[in-house]
Structure 1
């Protein structure tokens, strides 16, 4: 089911992109100087801007995109708080978000053969499992949550890697860029939390913020590219 409402482009696309990366710079500075209030105010705006950007540029307005990024928005709010309840909700939100990402990418690429994905998942599983097994800094009660995260990120990486080699119809460089940046983001957070947690957070969180914004902008561009390619393919077949 797709949203077929007429577009109301109140703000030009380039302006929204400018705001998106301007907020990213503000977030990096807030991470560097540990301004919690700025983080709380601006970080959810990244997801909100992505939703609006897709709304004004997509001809299909697939609700799957809105749901996926909505969970990203919720998670970006929850993980800022130091409340245990909010951290649990944030963890649950990011798990749901990553599952939706995987399903959405598989759906967009019309994947029918899952054997290449299973093969492509293996190196990611091996790397993250090895890092998890040698870490002495796992927070109490977090092992299984990290294990689930490792599996989901490995599947996401496997889906993107297999698409690069196997799918010529909807192959767009934006998906590969999103894959590299998103896996890099998770790897950065993973290393910081489990191996270098004795270092100040300002060493890694600004980098994480840059990867966060650029990866999801790449995801947005990938979705728009696939929708455009599908439209052109339908037009050629008619």
Structure 2
């Protein structure tokens, strides 16, 4: 069992390691150190899982399953093998679905009409961008359609929660939503419109957005768990 002081030190050390690794990876991207770049996403995911294990009292299994599929994605999606890419895409689809379900579960959402309203502007923008691109292959088109829909659902949840459910843990969810949409937008622009440019134009930004978005998600989960625990303790006392 860790003491409170040791736990705080371990948490701070893991956060410092996480963001130090991002700096190393951005430098590696700028100088094309591919061996280091391969470890980027798996290490980030493992560090976030470890950080959640250290700080969470609940240690929700759903968090680890969600991040596990993200870990699987990071191992397969960058491969040159068609089979590995398909596995990576399926794992990423599972990750997105679990992520959306987890957020809905944590927020205890019951009214889905505001989510549908918030979904519309996102799906309209991404669908319009999809129709404008001439660089999308037939094989990747349907994958992008599905990803557009999932990102739009995530954006709809965050947007509806911001306006309809002003509570203590909204800021971290809002930050996560903004960074996630920005990350997808950056990758979408790179792959579909500016693929002829060197990856160093976009990937350092994508790396930073990737880490900060999932760190925000982790903070949202932790803060939400703490608030739920406080509410339950108040009910028990009453």
- Output the TM-score relative to the length of structure 2: 0.93
> Residue 29 and residue 139 in structure 1: after superposition, are their counterparts in 2 closer, same or farther (change >3 A)?
farther
> Residue 126 and residue 166 in structure 1: after superposition, are their counterparts in 2 closer, same or farther (change >3 A)?
same
Q: Which of the residues 156, 159, 172 maps onto 2:157?
A: 159
Which residue matches 1:231? 229
- Give the Cα–Cα distance (whole angstroms) in 1 for the partners of residues 2 and 37 of structure 2: 31
- Give the Cα–Cα distance (whole angstroms) in 2 for the partners of residues 7 and 79 of structure 1: 37
- Give the Cα–Cα distance (whole angstroms) in 2 for the partners of residues 104 and 66 of structure 1: 11
- Give the Cα–Cα distance (whole angstroms) in 2 for the partners of residues 170 and 236 of structure 1: 16
Which residue matches 1:30? 28
State the number of aligned residues: 233
Residue deviations 1:129-167 (CA, integer Å, cap 9, x gap)? 000011101023111110000000000110111111112
Pair 1:17-2:20 in alignment: no
Q: Name the SS for the 1:48 alignment partner.
A: helix
Show structure 1 runs of 5+ residues with no match.
Answer: 1-5
> Residue 171 and residue 18 in structure 1: after superposition, are their counterparts in 2 closer, same or farther (change >3 A)?
closer
Q: Name the SS for the 2:58 alignment partner.
A: coil
**1:120/1:161 contact within 8 Å kept:** yes
How far did 1:23 drift? 1.0
Residue deviations 1:183-204 (CA, integer Å, cap 9, x gap)? 0000000000000001011100
Residue deviations 1:72-110 (CA, integer Å, cap 9, x gap)? 111112123222222211111111111111000000000
- Give the Cα–Cα distance (whole angstroms) in 2 for the partners of residues 83 and 39 of structure 1: 18
Q: Which of the residues 164, 172, 175 maps onto 2:173?
A: 175
**1:7/1:56 contact within 8 Å kept:** no
Show structure 2 runs of 5+ residues with no match.
Answer: none
Q: CA RMSD in A?
A: 1.6
How far did 1:225 drift? 0.5
Which residue matches 1:207? 205
**2:169/2:223 contact within 8 Å kept:** no
Runs of 4+, deviation exceeding 3 Å: 6-11, 168-171
Q: Name the SS for the 1:60 alignment partner.
A: coil
- Output the TM-score relative to the length of structure 1: 0.93
Which residue matches 1:73? 71
How far did 1:69 drift? 0.7
Q: Name the SS for the 2:39 alignment partner.
A: helix
- Give the Cα–Cα distance (whole angstroms) in 2 for the partners of residues 172 and 125 of structure 1: 22
